[in-house]
Every structure is written in C-alpha cells, then in structure tokens.
Amino acid sequence: MSLSTLARSGSLLLSICIPLAMVGCQPKASNTSLPPASPDKPKIALVMKSLANEFFSTMAEGAKQHQSQNSPQYELIVNGIKDERDLARQAAIIDEMIAAKVQAIVVAPADSKALVPVLRRAKLAGLVVVNIDNKLDEEILKAESLTVPFVGPNNRLGAQSVGQYLAKSLKPGDQVAVLEGIRTSFNATQRRLGFEQAMKDAGIQIVDSQSANWETNQANTIAASMLNAHPDLKAILAANDSMALGAMAAIKAANKTDTVQVVGFDNISAAQEAIRQGKMLATADQHGDQLAVYGIELALKLLQDPNSIPEDRETPVDLITAGSLPQ
Ligand code: ALL
C-alpha cells in the first residue's frame, strides 16, 4: 500500500492518526487533530520506522484492522518516520506521544541503543512500553534498570534458514557478499550472524559484508561496487528485501542475472514477485501484519493488569521460496 493511501485511509478512521512527519499531524496536547480523549478507553501509540518500507505499512494495516475489530477496547495512533536513520524524529514522536498522554507505546526502535533514554522517559511518565520487531539493547536496559518486554522473531534463525536454502544451490568455496541493516540495530546484527553461520556451515566464503542501512538505493550502490570488486560473486544475502531489490537492480545492470543469486528478509510484495519470476531465490516472512498486533495485545494486557509480569514473546518467522508462494 502506498504512503498516500495509508495516510488517506488513516485520516478517515476516528482513532487513527497517520505519520506525523509526513502529513503534519502533530499530536501535541494542544492539537485538535488527535482523537478526543476518552476517559475509559486507553490510547495506544504504535511507533514504527520508515513507512516508505512496505514492511511497516503492512504492519500499520494489521494494527488498524485489529483496532477496528476491537474498537471498544482501545484507540490507536499510528506513527512512522520517513528515513530509516532518522532516530531524532522517532525519539521526538515518542516525546509527543508522552505529551499527548497516551497510555501505552508499542515501538519498533530504529536503533537498539539510542531510543532507550526517551523510552525511559515514557516509563517514568507511567506509560506501558512494549518493544516490537527490533530488540532494545539488553545491557543498556539493565544499566538503566528498565524492563521492557520484547515481541518479535528470532532473526538469527530466520536469516540462517534463508542462508541454508541458498547454500543448497552453491558449492563449498563459492564467494558471496552480505548487505547488512543498520549496525546498531539488534535485528540487523542477528541476521548477519544467521547468514554467517549458514555460509560457514556450508563452507561458503563471505568476501564482503557492508551495511546499506536497510535502504534500496544504498544497497544498489554498494552491490554494484561489490560485483565490480568480486567478479566471481555467486550470491548477495540482504538483511531485508528493500536492500535485496537494490542488489537485484545492480546485478541486472552488471548483466549478471544468470550467475548471481539474491536472498532477502521480510516477504514484501516486490520480493514475492521477484521470487515467482526467478530473480530472487528466497526471503523470510516475519508476519509484519501481526507483529504490532501481538505488541498491542501485550500492551492491553499490561494496562488491564499493571501487576502482571511482562514476558517476551517470540513470534513466527518462515522461509519463503518459489515453492511456498501461491502462483
Ligand atoms: C527491521 C524490520 C525489517 C525492515 C527493517 C527496515 O526492523 O524487521 O526487516 O525491513 O527494519 O527498517
């Protein structure tokens, strides 16, 4: 779904306010664009990363659907940032949500460390905070004496299964390269480790590994230089599908579609299409549409019973190949 469609549909729903940064919806306490405060219905803010990434627009859709099916239980405010690396904006959104007196924040942090201080402010203000998708840094949480439950997949195992599938079509000694996500994100690190494990187990050589910060354009530039520097490259393993798309474009431009394979992570529609067409080998589905829903459900539970002990929840992640996609 496009951003504009998302924004349009969001503005039609009474309790949903779509990305602050992009449609100028500034839910400060004085701003009338926020849904009216309801004395008994809690307001939950979903704070995501880049809504230019289909993974997060799918997540937003799933959350909106859940809210419309459970509208007596809660109101939902949906936020996202424009740029994967705009940590300052994501932190500002969280501050705005505290000022808007929401009762809970469900957050996919753009960085595992840098977002901890603002989430600490949220907890001190009495808000329920649930961490989804990208886990906050455990050491920093511990140092700050903060407990924030995490809801999300085992990224390492997900990436490992994608890597293992790729390894079946390669032979020991083959050369591959990795496109990593933002290095200060825990899920980016875990996916890199999963790819590395699968390659190591199969005797495949990783000759280059660089961060393209989750983004298609950066991945395109970096993949082009990788292909140039390593003419025998047999595959590129991208830590998300946005970067896999950039890699595919670089492979096409280098006339290497017959020799260099691509795998990704997320199962966005463009990746599904590429897999069906044989341009991409595999991806992982971490069920983005349900991820925020699980987080919201945990937030509701904690709001209902503030004394309950918040527990982490591991969510599913599945290998997607041509064989598993409906034709
Ligand atoms: C991660 C998600 C996705 C996504 C990436 C980009 O946290 O799990 O794989 O593509 O963020 O922001």
Identify the pLDDT of residue 280.
98
Of 46, 48, 55, the one to substitute when testing ligand 1's pocket (max ligand atoms within 8 A of C-beta) is: 55
Same domain, 141 and 183: no
Q: Which residue has the tokens 């919201």?
A: 296
Same domain, 146 and 293: yes
Q: Is residue 21 part of a domain?
A: no
CATH code, domain with 172:
3.40.50.2300
Other CB atoms closer than 10 Å to residue 84's CB: what's the count? 23
Question: What residue type is 223 in one-letter code?
Answer: A
What share of the chain has pLDDT > 70, as a percent?
Answer: 88
Of 46, 47, 48, 49, the one to substitute when testing ligand 1's pocket (max ligand atoms within 8 A of C-beta) is: 49
pLDDT, one tens digit per residue, over 199-247 is 999 999 999 999 999 999 999 999 999 999 999 999 999 999 999 999 9
Class of residue 313 by CB neighbours under 10 A (exposed 0-12, middle 13-18, buried 19+): middle
Q: Atom 10 (ligand 1): residue with closest C-alpha? A: 240
Domain count, the chain: 2
Task: State the number of CA atoms in the 13 A half-sphere of 165 facing the CB.
Answer: 23
Separation CA 257–CA 198 (nearest Å) = 23
Backbone angles phi, psi at 207, to 5 degrees: -95, -10
Same domain, 125 and 207: no
Same domain, 239 and 256: yes
Q: Is residue 14 part of a domain?
A: no
Q: Is residue 218 part of a domain?
A: yes
Same domain, 159 and 273: yes
Q: Which residues line ligand 1 (CB under 6 A)?
A: 49-50, 53, 55, 84, 108, 133-134, 187, 214, 240, 242, 265-266
Residue 173 Cα to ligand 1 midpoint, Å, equals 30
Backbone angles phi, psi at 144, to 5 degrees: -90, 5
Residue 40: pLDDT band (50, 70, 90) is confident
Separation CA 204–CA 91 (nearest Å) = 40
Cβ 271 vs Cβ 264: under 8 Å:
yes
Same domain, 140 and 208: no
Identify the pLDDT of residue 39.
57
Q: Is the pLDDT of residue 19 over 50?
A: no
Residue 214 Cα to ligand 1 midpoint, Å, equals 7
Same domain, 281 and 159: yes
Same domain, 250 and 176: yes
Identify the pLDDT of residue 306.
83
Residue 308: pLDDT band (50, 70, 90) is confident
Q: Where are the beta strands (DSSP E) in 85-174?
A: 104-107, 128-132, 150-152
Closest CA relative to residue 93, chosen from 52, 49, 128, 130: 49
Q: Is the pLDDT of residue 172 over 80?
A: yes
Same domain, 275 and 311: no
Predicted model pTM: 0.88
What is the mean pLDDT of the segment spanning 47-51?
93
> Which residues make beta-bridge pairs with 175?
205, 233
Task: State the number of CA atoms in the 13 A half-sphere of 287 facing the CB.
Answer: 15
Same domain, 109 and 180: no
Same domain, 122 and 64: yes
Domain span at residue 231?
155-285
**Bridging pattern class, strands 205-211 and 175-180:** parallel
Residue 271 Cα to ligand 1 midpoint, Å, equals 14
Of 59, 84, 115, 134, the one to substitute when testing ligand 1's pocket (max ligand atoms within 8 A of C-beta) is: 134
Same domain, 109 and 133: yes
Distances (CA, A) of 116 to 119, 129, 131, 142, 144: 5, 11, 11, 11, 9
Identify the pLDDT of residue 233.
98
Q: Which residue has the tokens 């977002």?
A: 115
